[in-house]
Structure 1
């Protein structure tokens, strides 16, 4: 089964309303995928892929400091002191003061800069590459079933994400930790993506996708997960 089929199976088993998104980090700019035409935030890129677009983006196409920093496309030291300190977040109500921003950043996951030059996005059922991370918007029940499928044969628990930027929690974290990650997103991403109150987020490392999809299928034959 290829990754496109995995995407179809996820939709079949979970009845997803939103297409799972395949994400891949690339050392070089890919030649077989179109570059994004304009700047947008990382969370907007996810929505574009969810709606069927396939493209890659470099630091030049990343319109948000967080997206560039957490995805490893830029070094935070390239930004002004206002950005590096997090002072710009205080008037927006994201944090009370700079020390709170700094303490939060200490525990946030990011990909080291200087390694990757592009990030590729595509709906999973159209992806022509092997994804590093699969990102999904789903409801609580669907998310619960994915977490059960992850634990079904491994006994492993997923990682719960806090309200940090989703380019960190739902992209960099599953990439770096290699674990299924779930959360609710951050206030800016939820607004940018136009999410419903009931929507949650879950990301699966590409290396776990086959196992999770297979387990979802097997679970459908068991008492608690049989479809009524």
Structure 2
């Protein structure tokens, strides 16, 4: 499958610590997917660094916020109130009810309620289903190359929404807006998923943009191309 070949190229060119991660919204589970109880941010980490695939659904997603962000369950008023209380008094990520309202109302992405029964998350190199998104668990240097490769063909600047939960930034935003997004991995995810490095971030790309990245690799110095000019030719003493 073409995305599995893409995975090998991207892993080699970017020197990734692990695999790019495929995300697919599907009404059927992947045959190689685990169905144990898990948080979406844990699934992303284990897909990238451990090589596991997960079939996440309403019954096995253990994170209430993740259930909503992935569109697997519409929260009841009671659950919504508890989430608000947790963000303000538990995690202390926002200051008050008004801040919570603004965070929700001004968010650029909308959860994909009713889109599918399963959200399949797994390493792209063994991914069975055509992915909707490709996620890169990478460092800032690798992300800077992905920014250039993502814009090489079009020249259109990237627009990212950096606030919000890890699964919202990595999955909800790029899925609903159809464009690249970056998340720095929220502090709760970093606390609960011990394997994340301080230097890790998640660069998320809609699958329909991945072909352009692949085709840009041999053409751009962000990929494998050699410079056509030296810095000394343009930098004056």
Q: Same fold (TM over 0.5)?
A: yes
- After superposition, the C-alpha distances for 1:49-86 in whole angstroms (9 at most, x for unaligned) are 121112311111111111110111011236435325x0
Q: Which moved more, 1:13-22 or 1:214-223?
A: 214-223
Q: Which moved more, 1:128-137 or 1:106-115?
A: 106-115
Q: 1:12 to 1:80 in 2, by over 3 A?
A: closer
Tell me the equivalent position of 1:177.
177
**Once the 2 structures are TM-superposed, how far is the Cα of residue 212 of structure 1 from its aligned partner?**
0.6
Map of 1:60-75 to 2, 5 A cutoff?
Answer: 60-75=59-74
- After superposition, the C-alpha distances for 1:14-56 in whole angstroms (9 at most, x for unaligned) are 0011321100011x2336344412x211101111212111231
- Whole-angstrom distance in 2 between the partners of 1:159 and 1:176: 14
- After superposition, the C-alpha distances for 1:86-145 in whole angstroms (9 at most, x for unaligned) are 012212211111221121112332323223111011101111111001111111111011
Q: 1:216 to 1:193 in 2, by over 3 A?
A: farther
Q: Is the 8 A contact 2:19 2:123 kept in 1?
A: yes
- Radius of gyration: which is bigger? 2
Q: Which moved more, 1:160-169 or 1:201-210?
A: 160-169
Tell me the equivalent position of 2:233.
none
Tell me the equivalent position of 1:166.
166
- CA-atom RMSD in angstroms: 2.1
- Residue 125 in structure 1 maps to residue 130 in structure 2: no
What TM-score, normalized to structure 2? 0.86
2:226 to 202, 206, 222: 222
- Whole-angstrom distance in 2 between the partners of 1:218 and 1:100: 45
- Structure 2 gap ranges (5+): 229-237
- Whole-angstrom distance in 1 between the partners of 2:6 and 2:79: 43
Q: Is the 8 A contact 1:146 1:216 kept in 2?
A: no
- Whole-angstrom distance in 2 between the partners of 1:197 and 1:31: 31
- Residue 59 in structure 1 maps to residue 58 in structure 2: yes
Three-state SS of the structure 1 residue aligned to 2:219 is helix
Tell me the equivalent position of 1:189.
189
- Whole-angstrom distance in 1 between the partners of 2:71 and 2:28: 14
Aligned length: 223
Tell me the equivalent position of 2:209.
208
What TM-score, normalized to structure 1? 0.89
- Residue 49 in structure 1 maps to residue 47 in structure 2: yes
Tell me the equivalent position of 2:157.
157
- Whole-angstrom distance in 2 between the partners of 1:122 and 1:81: 29
